[in-house]
Structure 1
Amino acid sequence: MKTLPPGQRRVDGFPRFGTHLQQPPPPVPDDPVIAISGVVREPVEVRLGELSALPHREVLADFHCVAGWTATDLRWEGVRFADFYRRFVEPALEPGVTVTHLVFEGLDGAASVVELQDALADDVMLAQRLNGRPLDGNHGAPIRLVSPAQYGYMSIKHLCAVEVCSALPAHRLGTKIFDRLLEGHPRARVWQEERHGRIAGRLVRPFYRALIGPIRRLSAKGAQGE
């Protein structure tokens, strides 16, 4: 039997989790783009059709939610984020700048702050297909970030923007009490159980698992029909 990371339990299927779960997924724009901003000479917009110029990639990987469930053997198809970065981001950078973090933002308003070294890992993808089918709204249409070695909150769905940063972007970090309770770890590495930014992973497992039931019910209300 497959060994799962510490504190994870296998689930059947692939639940819809994320923000605004009581609402339907955001509509797909007629002409989807990924906007690149931050420490670049000028903002850039990459249309999804332009990704066809990059090598196609398939990754078979498990998806680990910070709440403690794992969906196993998901087959993602798309392009490596590292290839996207070198083709579209690096040429746009301000001269002499050192990139440390990237902010990924989705059409649903969700965002994650990822260290550059983690984003450029070989298995991190911009995925457009899941298990042989185009992504649906529940799982991030038209394109999403997939970072298998990190908890799912890093893998932003409905990706529409990447902000390139030369330091930790403090303006992107939450300041409300709820944000502190669910404060994500800056690396969020699953095998190190980096669930929370201030509390050891094994100590917060019960708290996160208690959220699974309510989140499932909200998810069902906003799920897109198959």
Structure 2
Amino acid sequence: MQVSYSQRDLPPGQRELSEFPRFGIVEFARRPLTCRDIRLKITGPFDQPLILTATELAALPRISLTADFHCAAGWSHRAVKWGGFRFSDIWEQLILPHARPRSEIELVVLRCQDGYRTALPWSDLLAQEVLLADRLNDLPLTVEHGAPIRIVAPSHYGYKSAKHLDRIELRDNGAEYVPLLPRLLDHPRARVALEERGQWLPGSLLRYAFRPFIKPIIRKLKSLANSAS
């Protein structure tokens, strides 16, 4: 199934990049991946954790999603083509039948092989455009863009689209979750349309604070990739 989620106009404060760069916290890009194959551990308010691999995911409908990618630092890349599986399908067809939760889910914590983590409200992850993606532009994901599998949440800034996804924690409340990033840089939802780049300061101000770091981070991550090849 093919789905398009691209918008005609860029959101407030975004500037278009012709390339789709590797971007993120440089510290995490230095860390080697522990597993090149898809292996997702699902934990939550149920009796036993569940392990999902490419074999289980292959039973689901495959979705091709074309969507704009927006970074909270202020850059966007238009019409990125992702391939993968809807998170809502994974929940309904693979998780729920085998691990019925004892309570309502409120928060989902996304943990990654490189140590990165982020979180989103449960209702946001169930949106129809949210994928667990294993392909980019009809090719398998590279390490630079999140191999072996990653979250793609087009309505949210890129730091919520966790790369190298390793573990999904379903929580019945978010009281004990501690964000990885300082709260100034980590909004609980990070919705692009509302310019939720972080907390405490308006997104319209944070965009100017973040913008000077775009080119240096891109250059540094390119340098790391070149030295590793």
Secondary structure of the residue aligned to 1:59 is strand
The corresponding residue for 1:50 is 56
Q: 1:132 & 1:21 partners in 2: Cα distance?
A: 29
1:69 to 72, 75, 88: 75
Distance 1:186 1:198 in 2: 12
Letter in 1 for 2:101: E
| 1:102 paired residue among 84, 102, 108 | 108
Q: In 2, are the aligned partners of 1:40 and 1:164 still within 8 Å (CA)?
A: no
Alignment RMSD (CA, Å): 2.1
For normalisation by structure 2, the TM-score amounts to: 0.89
1:116 aligns with 2:122: yes
Aligned residue for 2:201? 199
Contact 1:127 1:146 in 2 (8 A): yes
Distance change >3 Å, CA 199–CA 157, structure 1 → 2: same
Runs of 4+ more than 6 Å apart = none
Question: Any residues of structure 2 matched to 1:206-221 within 5 Å, and which?
Answer: 206-221=208-223
User: What is the DSSP-based 3-state SS (H/G/I as helix, E as strand, rest coil) of the residue aligned with 1:171?
Assistant: coil
Measured in 2, the distance between the counterparts of 1:118 and 1:30 equals 28
Partner deviation per Cα, 1:19-68 (whole Å, 9 max, x = no partner): 33584563362543100113221111111221010001011000000000
Return 23-32 or 62-71, whichever deviates more. 23-32
**1:3 to partner: Cα distance:** 0.7
Report the 3-state secondary structure (helix = DSSP H, G, I; strand = E; otherwise coil) of the residue aligned with 2:220.
helix
Contact 2:184–2:199 at 8 Å: present in 1 too? no
Counterparts of 1:21 and 1:75, CA distance in 2? 27
Q: Matches of 2:183 and 2:130 in 1, distance apart? A: 27
- Following superposition, the deviation at residue 209 of structure 1 comes to 0.6
Question: Residue deviations 1:76-116, cap 9 Å, x none?
Answer: 01110110111233231333x01011011111111111101
User: What residue in structure 2 maps to residue 86 of structure 1?
Assistant: 92
CA contact (8 A) 1:61 1:72 kept: yes
Aligned: 1:130 with 2:136:
yes
Q: Quote the residue 1:223 is aligned against.
A: 225
1:218 CA displacement: 2.1
- Corresponding position of 1:173: 179
1:16–1:138 Cα contact (<8 Å) kept:
yes
Amino acid at match of 2:170: V
Deviation at 1:13, TM superposition (A): 1.2
Corresponding pairs, count:
221
In structure 1, give the amino acid aligned to 2:190. Answer: A
**Residues 23 and 58 from structure 1, CA distance in 2 versus in 1: closer, same or farther, beyond 3 angstroms?**
closer
> In the alignment, is the contact (CA less than 8 A) between 2:56 and 2:94 conserved in 1?
no
- Is 1:157 matched up with 2:167? no
Helix, strand or coil: the match of 1:214? helix
Identity of aligned residues (%): 39
For structure 1, the 5+ residue unaligned runs are none
Unaligned regions of 5+ residues in structure 2, if any?
Answer: 1-6
Tell me, what secondary structure is at the counterpart of 2:96? Answer: helix
